[in-house]
């Protein structure tokens, strides 16, 4: 057996239909495309969402809502997570870069501290935004909050 002499089993490969090769072939003339019309022409295809002439779905449904281009997306950090980060890293000073280094936020993201959970450590945070409940929780333990 040689690689150059390999071939498929006999009968397993059929020849394709030779369309448009004259009347004698049995598939000449209209070449299995019917008579005239868009679908008989070369390069003809229906639009992706064509529904046979019925009003398409994207036109039947109403427009809704809008995308606010001025919206600021924050990466949320709860007090529970902040407490875990203090235990994990041993640091009590947190800023945008330290959250990136700890894998909590992306470099391009703004961080917002939220007040869910309990905090037992005195921490110093410098973030883009903070909720009132989180601010009172941090400051009640003697920590400081800077809005950067």
Does a structural domain hold residue 114? yes
Q: Are residues 56 and 81 in the same domain?
A: no
Averaged confidence pLDDT in the chain = 93
Per-residue pLDDT tens digits for 30-85: 999 999 998 899 998 988 989 999 999 999 999 999 999 999 999 999 999 999 99
Once rounded to an integer, what is the mean pLDDT over residues 74-100?
94
pLDDT at 1 over 90: no
Does a structural domain hold residue 2? no
pLDDT score of 100: 95
Q: What percent of the chain is modeled with pLDDT above 90?
A: 91
Q: What domain range includes position 56?
A: 19-63
Once rounded to an integer, what is the mean pLDDT over residues 11-34?
93
Binned at pLDDT 50, 70 and 90, residue 27 comes out as very high
Domain boundary among 10, 32, 63: 63
Does a structural domain hold residue 3? no
| Number of folded domains that form the chain | 2
Does a structural domain hold residue 9? no
pLDDT score of 148: 84
State the DSSP string of the chain.
--GGG--PPTTS-PPPP--SS-GGGTS-TTTTS-SSSGGGSTT----TT--TTSPPHHHHSPP-----TT---EEEEEHHHHHHHHHHH---EEEHHHHHHTTSS-TT-EEEEE--S---S--EEEESEE-HHHHHHHHHTT-EEEE-
pLDDT score of 67: 94
């Amino acid at each position: 057996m040689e690689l150059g002499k390999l071939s498929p089993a006999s009968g397993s490969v059929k020849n394709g239909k030779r369309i448009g090769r004259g009347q004698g072939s049995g598939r000449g003339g209209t070449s299995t495309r019917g008579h005239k019309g868009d679908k008989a022409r070369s390069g003809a295809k229906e639009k992706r969402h064509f529904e046979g002439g019925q009003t398409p779905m994207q036109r039947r449904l109403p427009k809704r809502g809008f995308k606010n281009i001025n919206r600021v997306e924050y990466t949320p950090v709860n007090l529970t997570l902040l407490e875990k980060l203090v235990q994990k890293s041993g640091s009590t000073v947190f800023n945008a870069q330290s959250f990136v280094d700890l894998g909590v936020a992306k470099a391009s993201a703004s961080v917002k501290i939220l007040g869910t959970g309990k905090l037992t450590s005195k921490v110093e945070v410098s973030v883009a935004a903070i909720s009132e409940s989180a601010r009172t929780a941090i400051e009640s333990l003697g920590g400081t909050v800077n809005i950067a």
